[in-house]
Amino acid sequence: MVLEDKDILQVDATIITGILLMLSITGFIGSGIGKPSFSGLASLVSIVLIPFSVSAVLVVQLERMKPSYRHRVK
């Protein structure tokens, strides 16, 4: 199975959207015992969110570079 650029972007967008939705829901929950601290939540989000964001940016940048690269090869 070969993953195309659109498939990678779709997975990245799905994961980023899910994380942001979960973060929003967590923000609406009132403060109580067991609510994670902001620094703990921020580090968890950054650990998961940053790699998928970088992956999406790289796919878009590489897709934009393909036509100029093809022109140089010919």
3-state secondary structure of 30: coil
64 vs 9: CA distance, rounded Å: 14
Q: What is the mean pLDDT of residues 60-73?
A: 70
- Tokens 């799905």 correspond to 14
**Domains in the chain: how many in total?**
1
Residue 16 belongs to domain spanning: 5-27+35-73
43-70 core/surface letters (b: 16 or more CB in 10 A; e: else): eeeeeeeeebeebbeebeeeeeeeeeee
pLDDT in tens, 7-53: 888 999 999 999 888 877 776 665 555 666 667 777 877 888 889 99
